[in-house]
Amino acid sequence: MKILLTASSRHGATDEVAAVIAEQLRAAGLEVDHTRPEDVADVEGYDAFVLGSAVYMTRWTEEAVDFTRRFSSALRDHPVWAFSVGLSGLPKGKIADPYRIGPVLLSIDPEDHITFPGRFDPGVLNVRERTIARMGGATEGDFLDLEAVRAWGASVAATLCNGL
In this predicted structure, what is the pLDDT of residue 109? Answer: 82
Confidence of residue 40 (pLDDT cuts 50, 70, 90): very high
How many domains does the chain divide into?
Answer: 1
The average pLDDT across 92-113 equals 64
Show Cβ contacts of residue 23 under 8 Å, excluding neighbours closer than 6 positions. 150, 153
Taking 50 as the threshold, does the pLDDT of residue 96 lie above it? no
13-27, 87-101, 136-150, range with the lowest pLDDT: 87-101
Taking 50 as the threshold, does the pLDDT of residue 89 lie above it? no
In this predicted structure, what is the pLDDT of residue 60? Answer: 85
Helix, strand, or coil (residue 52): strand
Q: Rounded distance, CA 37 to CA 52, Å?
A: 9
* pLDDT tens figures, 117-160: 877 676 777 787 777 667 666 666 677 889 999 999 999 999 99
Confidence of residue 32 (pLDDT cuts 50, 70, 90): very high
Residue 33: name the closest of 52, 54, 5 by CA. Answer: 5
In this structure, what CATH number is given to the domain that contains residue 129? 3.40.50.360
Taking 60 as the threshold, does the pLDDT of residue 91 lie above it? no
Give the domain range for residue 47: 2-162
Q: Rounded distance, CA 99 to CA 30, Å?
A: 29
Please list the residues that pair with 150 across neighbouring strands.
Answer: none
Select the more confidently predicted residue: 130 or 36: 36
Each residue of 52-79: b (16+ CB within 10 Å) or e? Answer: bbbbbeebbbebbbebbebbeebbeebb
Strand segments (E) across the chain = 2-8, 31-35, 48-56, 59-60, 80-85, 112-116, 119-120, 141-142
pTM, two decimal places: 0.83
Confidence of residue 106 (pLDDT cuts 50, 70, 90): confident
In this predicted structure, what is the pLDDT of residue 94? Answer: 40
In this predicted structure, what is the pLDDT of residue 102? Answer: 58
Which range, 32-41, 92-101, 155-164, has the best average confidence (pLDDT)? 32-41
Mean pLDDT of the chain: 84
